Each structure stands twice: as structure tokens, then as C-alpha cells.
Amino acid sequence: RRHRPGRAPRRPTAGRRRCSAEPPPPGPASRPPPLAAQRKHGGGQGVSRPAPAVLDWGDVRKRGCGHLPESTLQDRVEATDILELGHFTWDRYLKETCSVPAPVHCFKQSCTPPSNEFKISMKLEAQDPRNTTSTCIATVVGLTGARLRLRLDGSDNKNDFWRLVDSAEIQPVGNCEKNGGMLQPPLGFRLNASSWPMFLLKTLNGAEMAPIRIFHKEPPSPSHNFFKMGMKLEAVDRKNPHFICPATIGEVRGSEVLVTFDGWRGAFDYWCRFDSRDIFPVGWCSLTGDTLQPPGTKVVIPKNPYPASDVNTEKPSIHSSTKTVLEHQPGQRGRKPGKKRGRTPKPLIPPPISTPSKSAELLKFPKKRGPKPGSKRKPRTLPNPPPTSPTTSTPEPDTSTVPQDAATVPSAAMQAPTVCIYLNKNGSTGPHLDKKKVQRLPDHFGPARASVVLQQAVQACIDCAHHQKTVFSLLKQGHGGAVVSAVFDREQHTLSLPAANSITYVLRFLEKLCHNLRSDNLFGNQPFAQTHGHAR
């Protein structure tokens, strides 16, 4: 096998296990190439990698709970046309990282994701996340997949939080009184407490109440913690809770698990209970319509895959053909409490049976990538034992202003307002966008931070294009913004958008993009009239 100049060829090592169940090729055991070797760098066009297939749980919707039809799911994975996809997908990623997904029975989630029939401005009752003994009136201010963005009436927009539509913490208006309770003002109520009764009457007068039929019963909890170290899953980024990202189980302690986000050096990792509603099985976002963010830039492919005998369980998992798991390496995705930063986690990484130079190379890598002692992230070190987290979703104190990455987003963007842009489905889509696909898009994007809305709108243009390469080639690599992706030339390409902090910037960016696509007047800051003619 060819090797890069300046590096000694790898020696075959006896006793190593393969990552797949396929028969071994003749000769020495082979490994998947490092992710860095598969990526290509183009001027201004971001990073590209081979396009993965998509995971489809279509049969799960029909069958409901119970054992998943693994063979059928695997057939769907292989039969999917990857050229139609523009988002991160799991199948190739699991193979590249030699990983297995956590089985569905590990999660406190519905086997069939619940439908989201809520609408913006609907009223409901919700527990105050900062004072869980209080039940308050909340308004739906955002929707994504099977989740709701809620704002407690009487509070500001700095304490919005997210809940699943089948959460037990949300109920129809009137449920509290029916059970002998009383609605309370939220923590941080902006008016005088004595004015709460009158404020409540005015708030509910003429408001649209969420009907009982669109609420769902919360699923039962697993009997115990089935998670194993190294299992893959999808998880809410609690510092940016509108994002769901690929993650790995980094450690298991009793009823607690350490969620580590792939490619982010441990900056966003957190401990939670095994029955937390913030963690989901692989493929959840593809079913609910939520956007799964791609991994960060620090994803590492294992040079010495480890056997997954301690990971595979008797119950079936989604990808039964995958037999090996990449165990968590705390030096690059987080670390065990009490460990010094940069120190190689020797108990978790046994030295490979190879030459001393290879061993030294493997052991030095986490130390090189990990944060240095005394860095600003030092106060984030978790105590030992880990803190106990509630079983429900935990909101962030300020979901509307937290940037994606404080190291790359300008300080001015940290106070970015919530914006909303509207889609003109009746306007001209031009020669490059598919009008039928445009009709299937939502009527608006947001309300959310400007950078999030910009990413959603640009990704929608890419997904609706007759040729995704056409739209992608009009974009330039930015800094500090969200990531968009496109598939062309049988590869998946990703690109970072520039940081946006106002609706004016978002509209100007989209106006220029749509002008180049010859689909002017496609977006606006006000709702468009629902007519059959063109807007312009």
C-alpha cells in the first residue's frame, strides 16, 4: 500500500480486529484511512469528504415500538440515492470512525417520533425551567422537528427554552387549575407581582390555545442504563440548544452518562442521566425534519480500532453489521474528572502492537490537540463525582444570544437579536431552483439568531437546487457562521457562512444570492400574500 512521503510504511500487526463484518482481504489487516487523508481542500470552497448514505427509519414509523427491523433498515441505507442529500448523514461516518450507534432501547424517546402540529403564538402551560415547582403560561416562539421553543409570558427573550412535543412538562391551558393548582408568574417576572392576575387575564384574552389533541404522552424510561462507552447518538448542544449534533458516550457512571460532541475538543460536553430527553438515537433528526449539525473539525479516525465486545448488547441495534466501536479518547473530546489537561489517558488507550515510533505518534496526538493547562476553559472542569442532571431537558439561561463558538464569533454577534425571514413561495424561483421543492419549505425561517436563520435559508436554497453545485459555487468561505453542505461529484462538501448579527445583513446576503440565482424577491422580512401570481 502506498504511503505518504516522509513517513515509514505501516507494518502489519497480528491480532488486530477489523471494523466491518466483511471477509478480510488477502495480506495484512487493513484499516480505514484517516479522515484527514480523505478530505480535500479547495480554494474558498470549504472542506469536502466522500458523501455518506442516509439512515431511514421508514419502517419504524409503521411498526411502532418493539424490535427494529435491522435488515430492512440496512437495505434502505444501501439503496438511498446519496446525490439527493445535502446534510450530514450517519452511515459512512459510522464506518469511518469504526463506531456503533446506541440501540433505540437505551433512550427515553418514542419509537415513532411524535408529530409536531403546534403553531407559532400558541399558548400552553409549562414548568418554569428555573423554578420547577411553578407552572406558567408559555408561548410557542419557534418550531424545529419535534421540538418547541417556548417563552414564558411575562419574561424576556433571554430565557427561552426547548421542549419536545411529548414532554410531560408541557400541558394544555387549564390543566393546572383542573388538578387544583394555580398558575404562577415566571422567575424574573418583569412587572410587580401584584399585577400578575390582571396580566394573566390580558395574556389569555383572545389568544390561540394549543388544542389538547396535539399534545403527546411522554414515553416511558428505560429500565436501567444500557449505554456503553463509545456508542454514537444525537444530542442537544446545551450551550446552543437549537442545535442537535453527532455525539459519543464518553463515560458511564451509574445512572449518568458523559455526552461528548464529536470534533469539538470537549468544550460542549456534559453529564446527564441515561433517560434525559436531550439525547436521541442515530437517525432521529432525519425522521423529525430537524437539522443535524455536522461534527466539528477535530474528528479523529482511530489508527488502531478496538474490539466492541463490551459495547454490543443482546438487543438489536440499528446498524447490526458494524462490529467495532471507537472508544472515547478524553484527551481530544473531553476528559475524566481529576485528569490533567493534555495528559494521555493511558488506561483507555493500550499501546498498539507496533514499532515504538507508531506508539509514540498515537500517544502524542491527544496531548497536542487538547487544551493547555491554565487555559480559559479550566473552570469548566467537572467535579468528581459528576453532578446529577434532571431527566428533562435543561435550558440555557440565554438561548438567544449565545454564539456557536465564542472563539470564532465576534463579540458584537454575542448580543445578536432574534430575527425571522419569510419565504415567497409564489415568487419566481428562477432556472436554478425547483419550484416543487420550494413549495415544500416552511413559510418562514426563525425566529432565531441571525446566523441560524441565514444557515437555514441558504441550506434550503441548496437543497431545492436542480444542481446543488450551482448554489454552492456562489458561496464563499466565511468565519464564525453556521455550516452548510451540498452533495455533488459524488462527494459531500461543507462550508462555513460568515457571522451574521442582524436581519439587515441576512436579507442583503440572501438578496445577493438570489439575484445570482435569478430568483429575486424570494425572501423578505414581512409575510408575503398567499396568491397564485408572482410577487414581482
pLDDT in tens, the chain (536 residues): 455 555 555 544 444 444 444 444 544 444 444 433 443 444 444 444 444 344 444 333 333 333 334 333 333 333 333 323 345 678 889 988 899 999 999 999 998 899 999 999 999 999 999 888 899 999 999 999 999 999 999 988 888 999 999 999 999 999 999 999 999 999 888 888 889 999 999 999 999 999 999 999 999 999 999 999 999 999 999 988 989 999 999 999 999 999 999 988 888 899 999 999 999 999 999 888 888 888 887 666 555 444 443 444 333 333 333 333 334 444 444 444 444 444 444 444 444 444 334 433 333 434 444 455 554 554 444 444 444 444 444 444 443 333 333 333 334 434 446 788 888 888 888 899 998 888 888 888 887 788 888 888 999 899 899 999 999 999 988 877 788 888 888 787 888 888 887 778 888 898 889 888 888 888 888 888 755 444 33
Helical (H) or strand (E) element with 524: strand 523-524
Q: What is the CA radius of gyration of the chain?
A: 24
Residue 60 CB partners (closer than 8 Å, separation 6+): 68, 69, 73, 111, 112, 287
Contact yes or no for 103/313 (Cβ under 8 A): yes
How far apart, in Å, do the first and last CA atoms of the chain sit? 60
Q: In whole angstroms, what is the distance from residue 446 CA to residue 163 CA?
A: 16
**Bond from prior residue into 50 cis (ω within 30 degrees of 0):** no
pLDDT of residue 136: 94
Calculate the alpha carbon distances from 49 to 36, 87, 488, 525 in Å.
9, 12, 11, 35
3-state secondary structure (DSSP) of residue 448: strand
Question: Closest Cα to residue 303, out of 40, 29, 25, 492?
Answer: 29
pLDDT of residue 530: 59
3-state secondary structure (DSSP) of residue 450: helix
Question: Closest Cα to residue 74, out of 228, 227, 246, 282?
Answer: 282
Given phi > 0 = left and psi -120 to 50 = alpha, else beta, which region is 27?
Answer: left
3-state secondary structure (DSSP) of residue 353: coil
Q: In whole angstroms, what is the distance from residue 468 CA to residue 131 CA?
A: 47
Instruction: Find residue 11's DSSP bridge partners.
Output: none
Q: In whole angstroms, what is the distance from residue 284 CA to residue 290 CA?
A: 8
pLDDT of residue 503: 78
Residue 336 CB partners (closer than 8 Å, separation 6+): 251, 330, 345
3-state secondary structure (DSSP) of residue 126: strand
Contact yes or no for 428/534 (Cβ under 8 A): yes
Structural domains of the chain in order of their starting residue, each with its CATH number: 123-214 (2.30.30.140), 232-380 (2.30.30.140), 411-524 (3.90.1150.190)
Q: Exposed/middle/buried for 41, CB within 10 Å: 0-12, 13-18, 19+? A: exposed
Helix crossing, 503-516 with 450-463: angle to 10°?
Answer: 20
244-253 β-sheet, strand order: 270-273, 256-261, 244-253, 232-236, 279-280
Q: In whole angstroms, what is the distance from residue 375 CA to residue 242 CA?
A: 27
Contact yes or no for 420/309 (Cβ under 8 A): no
The residue assigned the cell 513517513 is 7
**Bond from prior residue into 447 cis (ω within 30 degrees of 0):** yes
Question: Closest Cα to residue 365, out of 348, 342, 381?
Answer: 342
Q: In whole angstroms, what is the distance from residue 132 CA to residue 136 CA?
A: 10
Q: In whole angstroms, what is the distance from residue 84 CA to residue 102 CA?
A: 26
Question: CB neighbours (10 Å) of residue 393?
Answer: 21
Residue type, 490: R
Q: In whole angstroms, what is the distance from residue 225 CA to residue 198 CA?
A: 47
